């Protein structure tokens, strides 16, 4: 039998149901691996060993009594912006480095109700701002495939932890590509659901109209199981969709015959290098062999997605982050002379440089005299982008493209050039602006490093995405490739 940590979420589920393994055995194996590898990879900010072992023992009792759910006893780890009752919740920032959440985020409470065992909280770019996971107050996460490279961001801790087999499933969030880009960089599967499909209650906000909780795992099947657990209406989130949650696993085996895949000409132009193009062509060949056909489509305003996103997201961040003032919770500057000094020093000492940069950009964009020129214009572009996607999806079932323009870049390589860093999201941000579901799944390696292909579907069309990805994974072994040396 494979080592316990080699098993996927779906495989662990079967082993527990057959009682071939206990939750205590599984949890111990993952915690021991975390203890061994985390000092080098820096994927976890907080490891909840004692709580996890107690949860595993409780899970084993429930299984023996016959009161367990289908998922009782399987480990999970949470991105450190999901509030977790009684556990440090830092959002990767100094300003929250001492904040212990007094309640559970909706996603966390759903996972607890399903009987999952939480291993701890995962490292991330500060307040989810970044494309490399180098912006964390707790230091950068290292890519298990090459420890001199980034794992992507902001959910780099989630992606690296799954890739290194420190957890079989990880929660994550995606504001402009923060699930799909790290999934591509680490050879994992990641899904950003439709905006509103997963409640944002208890998820520390970056950009409220763009943030969406999701998952990173080894396979599309794992994601289908996980999404069924965390999706659904929540009255505490006014943007939560009041729609029934389907069984995402039911359609995984459906044939792709007759499915039409749209290929945006803007994603396959001269800017896509030859090696990445060849990797994408290999995936398309598999999709065609499975019965799908392709059609060229156009997303006419996708080139404006990056500038529109980097007006809208910072504008919303400047408002959301105003609550961190050193008064109510979190970091407080020593010996302030007055209230203004308390505010200024708590924020300037507590926030990192990228967060400060985005707050300044957002405040400027919302200021009198510039609101119409920047924020309002960006929202108009957003509507055009959404219309482009909806028009394209009227002629195809899914939109296909690369998840990233390249493989993972080196740690420190882009730190002095924020614009170059922002362009890492060139293929992903438009999906967020349109509010649509998107997933990244394993494609062939390029120069020994993972790549990912992206599938975007219609609103609440997660089942279509997972079906196509599952079929590709059934026909290939790209998702079974592992980083060496671990």
Q: What are phi and psi of 119, to 5 degrees?
A: -90, -20
Which is catalytic among the residues 23, 93, 154, 199? 154
3-state secondary structure at position 259: coil
Order across the sheet with 75-79: list the strands.
44-47, 117-122, 75-79, 169-173, 213-217, 189-192, 438-446, 449-456, 398-402, 260-264, 293-297
3-state secondary structure at position 257: coil
- CA distance readout (Å), 385 to 54, 115, 300, 379, 432: 48, 40, 8, 10, 10
**In whole angstroms, what is the distance from residue 362 CA to residue 378 CA?**
12
**In whole angstroms, what is the distance from residue 171 CA to residue 316 CA?**
23
- CA distance readout (Å), 6 to 76, 168, 210: 14, 9, 34
Q: Contact 74/116 with Cβ under 8 angstroms?
A: yes
Q: Is the peptide bond before 154 cis (omega within 30 degrees of 0)?
A: yes
Which is catalytic among the residues 13, 79, 165, 414? 79
Is 377 labeled as catalytic in the residue annotation?
A: no
Closest alpha carbon to 26 in 74, 71, 58, 67: 74
What is the per-residue DSSP string for 437-471?
A: -EEEEEEEEETTEEEEEEEE-STT-HHHHHHHHHH
Is 199 labeled as catalytic in the residue annotation?
A: no
**In whole angstroms, what is the distance from residue 355 CA to residue 359 CA?**
6
CA atoms within 13 A on the CB side of 448: 7
Task: Count Cβ atoms below 10 Å from residue 371 Cβ, excluding itself.
Answer: 13
The set of residues, in sequence order, having a beta carbon less than 8 Å from that of 52 and lying 6+ positions away, is 27, 31, 75, 117, 118, 119, 120
**In whole angstroms, what is the distance from residue 155 CA to residue 77 CA?**
12
Q: What are phi and psi of 399, to 5 degrees?
A: -110, 130
Is 240 labeled as catalytic in the residue annotation?
A: no
Burial class (CB in 10 A: 0-12, 13-18, 19+), 334: exposed
Which is catalytic among the residues 136, 178, 318, 346? 178
Which residues are marked as active site? 79, 154, 178
């Amino acid at each position: 039998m494979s080592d316990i940590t080699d098993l996927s979420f779906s495989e662990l589920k079967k082993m527990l149901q057959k009682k071939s393994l206990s939750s205590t055995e599984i949890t111990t194996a993952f915690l021991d691996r975390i203890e061994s590898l985390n000092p080098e990879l820096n994927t976890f900010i907080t490891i909840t060993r004692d709580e996890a072992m107690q949860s595993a023992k409780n899970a084993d009792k429930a299984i023996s009594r016959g009161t367990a759910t289908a998922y009782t006893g399987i480990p999970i780890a949470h991105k450190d912006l999901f509030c977790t009752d009684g556990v440090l919740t830092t959002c990767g920032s100094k300003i929250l480095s001492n904040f212990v959440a007094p309640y559970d985020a909706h996603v966390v409470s759903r996972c607890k109700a399903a009987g999952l065992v939480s291993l701890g909280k995962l490292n991330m770019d500060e307040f989810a701002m970044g494309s490399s996971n180098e912006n964390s107050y707790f230091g950068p996460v290292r890519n298990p495939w090459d420890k001199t490279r980034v794992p992507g961001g902001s959910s780099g801790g989630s992606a690296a932890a799954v890739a290194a087999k420190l957890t079989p499933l990880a929660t994550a969030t995606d504001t402009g590509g923060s699930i799909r880009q790290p999934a591509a960089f680490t050879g994992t599967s990641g899904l950003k659901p439709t905006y509103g499909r997963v409640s944002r209650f208890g998820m520390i906000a970056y950009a409220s109209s763009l943030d969406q909780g999701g998952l990173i795992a080894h396979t599309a099947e794992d994601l289908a199981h996980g999404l069924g657990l965390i999706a659904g209406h929540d009255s505490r989130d006014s943007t939560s969709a009041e729609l029934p949650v389907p069984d995402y696993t039911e359609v995984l085996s459906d044939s792709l015959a007759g499915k039409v895949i749209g290929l945006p000409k803007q994603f396959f132009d001269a800017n896509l290098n030859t090696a990445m193009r060849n990797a994408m062509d290999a995936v398309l060949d598999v999709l065609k062999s499975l019965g799908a056909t392709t059609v060229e489509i156009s997303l006419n305003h996708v080139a404006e997605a990056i500038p529109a996103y980097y007006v809208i997201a910072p504008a919303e961040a400047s408002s959301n982050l105003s609550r961190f003032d050193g008064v109510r919770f979190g970091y407080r500057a020593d010996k302030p002379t007055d209230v203004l000094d308390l505010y200024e020093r708590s924020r300037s000492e507590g926030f990192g440089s990228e967060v400060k940069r985005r707050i300044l950009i957002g405040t400027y964009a919302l200021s009198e005299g510039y609101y119409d020129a920047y924020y309002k214009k960006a929202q108009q572009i957003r509507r055009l982008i959404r219309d482009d996607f909806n028009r394209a999806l009227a002629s195809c079932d899914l939109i296909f493209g690369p998840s990233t323009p390249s493989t993972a870049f080196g740690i420190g390589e882009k730190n002095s050039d924020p614009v170059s860093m922002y362009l890492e999201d060139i293929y992903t941000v438009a999906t967020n602006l349109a509010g649509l579901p998107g997933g990244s799944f394993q494609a062939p390696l390029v120069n020994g490093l993972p790549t990912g292909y992206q599938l975007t579907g219609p609103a609440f069309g997660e089942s279509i995405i997972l079906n196509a990805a599952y079929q590709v994974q059934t026909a290939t072994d790209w998702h079974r490739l592992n980083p060496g040396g671990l």
